[in-house]
Structure 1
Amino acid sequence: MLTTRHFLFFLTGLCCFTISLRAEPAQFGSEAPAAEPGLAFLLPTDQFLRQELDEPGDSEPLLPPPLEDAFSPVEPATSPDTEALPDLKTLLRPRFDISAEWEPEADGVEMISSDLNLKLPLYPVFGPPPPFLTAGYSFTRINAPVQLDLPRDLHQFSLGVSWMRPLNDRWLVRTMLSGVFATDFYNTGSMAWQFRGGMFAIYRPNEEWDLAFGALATGQEDIPVLPVIGATWRPSSSVKVNLMLPNPRISYLISESETRQQWAYVGGGMSGGNWAYNLRDGSPERLNYREWRLVVGWESMPPRTPGRFQSPGASYLIEAGYVFGRKFEREHQAADIKIDNTLLLHTGIRF
């Protein structure tokens, strides 16, 4: 049931996260197209996919602009030592992504989740662009009838690296590797560990099109590998059509000022998660959750600033949608648990 208490809990949790963290954007790279919203959000347990496939609010284009000027030395006012060190510290500032999601009760099952992610540029030993260190924590609460024997509180910790390298003006290769610990804190054995990775190539034949080919290993039993195949079409500066699997969407720039862009988008795709937990009798089990969703969203973000990896200021997002095809699968139980369709509310901030 939708209640005022649940809605206030959802918003309060996000606000507490938001005011607790502040960071300045990092500078590197040359001028790029304006920022555009990315994929419709996945559940926190799918943060690996969300981080690696052009996330909402990501000001980094799918294929970066020419990189000759990235991490170029700053002209010193007095001596190289006094100027270079502060500049490098600015370049390596982290990016934070905080979000919360609520799927109201259906068939007695309610799901609430929150997600905190960090993306940190590392020193560009091999030249720009640099590799990135990614870290994240996700919390998911499942309020369900006791007879379903589902866990209540689930946690996921992740740590990984990603790197993209341009081969020439038209081709880029992107690789990533991540380790995940997903558990209810009672089952902490081998079932709780997952290793995810992937590689894909991006080809840009012209300024309007990006084509991508590759695969992602999800570390999950039900869908171990997801194809990365599709295209992104930008017919104008205000329209972006993303045909990338597993979450296509269409974005439209509603309005723009010197300090803010307002984007609207529609999208859909697959979401879910995988955790280790203990049944009520103490036996270990692995839980897979899978769903499909259709969403509409709005995002407010600062415009792209020339010479910066990410624009100064924060991006805000709110998303609503319809969730269907929902089911829980357990490794040692024959019958799946299917639950009714429901709505979703998602909100987030990035800075």
Structure 2
Amino acid sequence: MLTTRHFLFFLTGLCCFTISLRAEPAQFEPEAPAAEPGLAFLLPTDQFLRQELDEPDDSDPLLPPPLEDSFSQVEPTPNPDTESLPDLKTLLRPRFDISAEWEPEADGVEMISSDLNLKLPLYPVFGPPPPFLTAGYSFTRINAPVQLDLPRDLHQFSLGVSWMRPLNERWLVRTMLSGVFATDFYNTGSMAWQFRGGMFAIYRPNEEWDLAFGALATGQEDIPVLPVIGATWRPSSSVKVNLMLPNPRISYLISESETRQQWAYVGGGMSGGNWAYNLRDGSPERLNYREWRLVVGWESMPPRTPGRFQSPGASYLIEAGYVFGRKFEREHQAADIKIDNSLLLHSGIRF
């Protein structure tokens, strides 16, 4: 049941987790041609895909202003802040992403999860633009009846690299590779290891459209390879339409100041995960979880200034939604475990 106690526990846990890890706001927030269109909702939102596709921002502040301004006929005004090179400490400053999610009880199953992701630019060895070292940890708790024989606590660790390279004014290529260890800490054999990667290209025919295509290897048996194909459309500075399937999203700019933008959005898509665990009798098993979701959300972020490498602050988001088509699949069990639809509460911070 969705209770006030659960809601307060969710918000308090996220705040405490954020405060314990919060650092000085990053001064290095690179830009890219498709930084705002939202590739975050391109694929199932397990930690690897959230981390790698959340924002294709691996371009470099030392390059000329991003391609999103390359169609403008207005000559940029020189700015001493953007013409001076940042120091090494600024270039090496990592970016943190923290989020928490709660799906209240349905059919006796309640799910709680939290993620921590780190993105570190590999200056000065490579670049510009540099590859990024990515690392993450995800915790998932499943409160379920004993007879379902589902694990209670699941952990996922990931380590990888990603690199985005502009080819010319119209084309950009992104590559990524990651190793993942997903387990209940009892089954730590080969089932727990996954290797993921992919490559896709982004083409910008004009200032309103981005087209993307390629493929991603997910490391999951149910969906081993996912095609990357779709488009994003920005008809105005206040509207962003993400046509990337299977997770479309429409965002609208509610208000804007010199230091903040307030966005509202509606969207949907698929979510889930894949872990190795032991059944109650000790036999090894692999668990796959999938669900579909419809969400509405709000995001507060600093405005993006083309050609600048200094981020003015952190980004915050909160969203609520409805999840359906929920099921657990196990590798050695014939029958899937289907559970009722539920609600969703998700919040996060990036700094």
Distance 1:214 1:68, change over 3 A: closer
On the 8 A contact 1:289/1:329 being kept in 2, the answer is: yes
CA offsets per residue over residues 234-259 of structure 1, 9 Å max, x none?
11111111111232101110000111
1:300 corresponding residue in structure 2 = 300
Distance 1:309 1:82, change over 3 A: closer
CA offsets per residue over residues 111-166 of structure 1, 9 Å max, x none?
00001000111115453221001100000000000000000000000001000111
Distance 1:3 1:44, change over 3 A: farther
Question: How far did residue 4 of structure 1 move?
Answer: 2.2
Distance 1:109 1:273, change over 3 A: same
On the 8 A contact 1:106/1:340 being kept in 2, the answer is: yes
User: Percent identical across equivalent pairs?
Assistant: 96
> Which deviates more, 5-14 or 111-120?
5-14
Question: How far did residue 228 of structure 1 move?
Answer: 0.7
Distance 1:45 1:284, change over 3 A: farther
Distance 1:74 1:153, change over 3 A: farther
Paired with 2:266 and 2:72, the residues of 1 have a C-alpha distance of 38
Distance 1:61 1:6, change over 3 A: farther
On the 8 A contact 1:132/1:162 being kept in 2, the answer is: yes
CA offsets per residue over residues 3-47 of structure 1, 9 Å max, x none?
222212211111111112233455568887997473677999712
Say what the alpha-carbon RMSD is for the aligned residues: 5.1
Question: How far did residue 329 of structure 1 move?
Answer: 0.2
Question: How far did residue 260 of structure 1 move?
Answer: 0.8
Distance 1:203 1:48, change over 3 A: same
Distance 1:284 1:63, change over 3 A: farther
Paired with 2:289 and 2:80, the residues of 1 have a C-alpha distance of 54
2:316 corresponding residue in structure 1 = 316
Distance 1:257 1:349, change over 3 A: same
Distance 1:338 1:167, change over 3 A: same
CA offsets per residue over residues 154-189 of structure 1, 9 Å max, x none?
000000100011111100110000000000000000
Paired with 2:76 and 2:168, the residues of 1 have a C-alpha distance of 31
Q: Structure 1 regions of 5+ residues with no counterpart? A: none
> Which deviates more, 28-37 or 240-249?
28-37
Distance 1:166 1:45, change over 3 A: closer
Distance 1:2 1:45, change over 3 A: same
Question: How far did residue 50 of structure 1 move?
Answer: 1.3
The 5-angstrom pairing of residues 181-330 of structure 1 reads 181-309=181-309, 311-330=311-330
Three-state SS of the structure 2 residue aligned to 1:135 is strand
2:19 corresponding residue in structure 1 = 19
Distance 1:107 1:68, change over 3 A: closer
Paired with 2:336 and 2:264, the residues of 1 have a C-alpha distance of 36
1:9 corresponding residue in structure 2 = 9
Paired with 1:168 and 1:83, the residues of 2 have a C-alpha distance of 22
Distance 1:31 1:146, change over 3 A: closer
Distance 1:29 1:99, change over 3 A: closer
On the 8 A contact 1:37/1:263 being kept in 2, the answer is: no
Question: How far did residue 190 of structure 1 move?
Answer: 0.3
Question: How far did residue 98 of structure 1 move?
Answer: 0.4
Distance 1:45 1:231, change over 3 A: closer
CA offsets per residue over residues 265-307 of structure 1, 9 Å max, x none?
1111111100000000000000000000011100011111344
On the 8 A contact 1:42/1:272 being kept in 2, the answer is: no
On the 8 A contact 1:74/1:84 being kept in 2, the answer is: no
